[in-house]
Amino acid sequence: MIEFLQVSASYDGEMAVLHDVSFTISDGEFVAFVGTNGAGKSTTMRLMNGLLKPTSGEVLIDGVATTKLKTSELARKMGFLFQNPDRQICCNTVREELLFGFQALGEADAQAHMRVDEIIARFGFNPDDEPYLLNRGTRQLLALASIIVLEPPVIILDEPTTGLDYRECEKVMEVVRELNENGTTVVMVCHDMEVVGDFANRVIAMTQGRKVADGKTFEVLRDDEVLKAAHILPPQITEISMILERDIAQLPEPIAKAHTLEQMVEAVVSAPGKRR
């Protein structure tokens, strides 16, 4: 469980970039953080994995403050995928990269080598490939694989799909979905509301260092006030349902009563005048 209790944070010790943020994330949840640039999403992630300490308030992981946990203890509890995977990749081969986390924890034993082999097979990596020569999508998958090979109960993903094409994005997110279905808690920062709508069960929206909404994905993403405050465009499917719901009373009867898409198209085509 991850708890933020009235957390404020600052990088220079003077100007607060996070103000009084509180939330609780239970084991097994899939939570997306959304909001404008500079809203404090990455800062929140850094506080979660102990890279940054709060200036006031507390961040508790399974009931223990991050200030009291050792870096290695935090690394065991949560895997962290940086906003840019190239900040994460540091070894000469894919195999070394996947072993790196175990080495850092002093646990590169036979079992670790076995886990690395499993992950290589599962992702279809070539263990001798040079990470920097891989394409962007495969580098992102490698960065993700190097985290999940350690089997942390929580993974934190900062913009896991940025810069990926549709197929690469699907590949990364399917891995994440499978992890979550098998019990891993997923906390993800994401600008792409289609991805958020498809994968996250809960959304926390932030603006200017403050939490402005926290709830079920489909509720937050259809709340006009929240969307405006956090400068978010909802996923297309949510937008369509919002337009329909808002306008349903004014729709010509054949359209409002349509039960299937075909009936609706038929009614729209034969309706007089044009609607949005």
Contact residues toward ligand ATP (CB under 6 A) are: 11, 17, 35, 37-43
Q: Which amino acid is at 199?
A: F
Q: Which two tokens stand for residue 145?
A: 């694989």
Query: Rounded to the nearest whole angstrom, what is the least distance from the CB of residue 228 to ligand ATP in the complex?
Result: 17
Least CB distance from residue 19 to Mg ion, whole Å?
Answer: 17
- Name the token pair of 269: 């085509």
Tell me which of ligand ATP, Mg ion, none is bound by residue 139, counting a contact when its beta carbon lies within the kind-specific cut-off of 5 to 8 angstroms: none
Choose the stretch contacting Mg ion; rule: CB under 5 A; options: 20-28, 41-49, 73-81, 114-122: 41-49
Half-sphere exposure of 68 (CA within 13 A, CB side): 8
**How far is Cα of residue 251 from the mean position of the Cα atoms in its chain?**
37
Q: From the list Mg ion, ligand ATP, none, which binds 40 (C-beta under 5 to 8 Å, kind-based)? A: ligand ATP
Type of residue numbered 86: D
User: Tell me, what DSSP letter sits at residue 235?
Assistant: P
264 CB-contact burial (10 Å; exposed 0-12 / middle 13-18 / buried 19+): middle
Shortest reach from residue 175's CB to ligand ATP, in Å = 22
41/115 with CB nearer Mg ion:
41
Q: Please give the Cα distance from 75 to 266 (Å, whole number).
A: 57
CB of 178 to ligand ATP, least distance (A): 26
Cα 276 to Cα 269: distance, rounded to the nearest angstrom:
13
Q: Which CB, 34 or 149, lies closer to ligand ATP?
A: 34
Q: Which does 211 bind (CB under 5 to 8 A by kind): Mg ion, ligand ATP, none?
A: none
Query: Letter for the amino acid at 146?
Result: S
Q: Which is nearer to Mg ion, 145 or 190 (CB)?
A: 190
How far is it, in rounded angstroms, from Cα 92 to Cα 158? 24
Nearer to Mg ion, 38 or 248 (CB): 38
Nearer to Mg ion among residue 42 and residue 184 (C-beta): 42
Nearest-angstrom CA–CA distance, 180 and 243: 32
- Helices 110-123 and 94-104 cross at an angle (nearest 10°) of 140
Interface stretch with Mg ion, choices 40-48, 170-178, 211-219, 267-275 (CB under 5 A): 40-48
Question: Residue 43 binds what, of Mg ion, ligand ATP, none (CB under 5 to 8 Å, by partner type)?
Answer: ligand ATP
Which of 178, 173, 151, 150 has the alpha carbon at shortest distance from 160? 173
Q: How far is the CB of 230 from ligand ATP (least distance, A)?
A: 10
**Minimum CB separation from ligand ATP for residue 99, in Å?**
29
Asked if 42 is part of the footprint of Mg ion (rule: CB under 5 A), the reply reads yes
- Positions that interact with Mg ion (CB under 5 A): 42
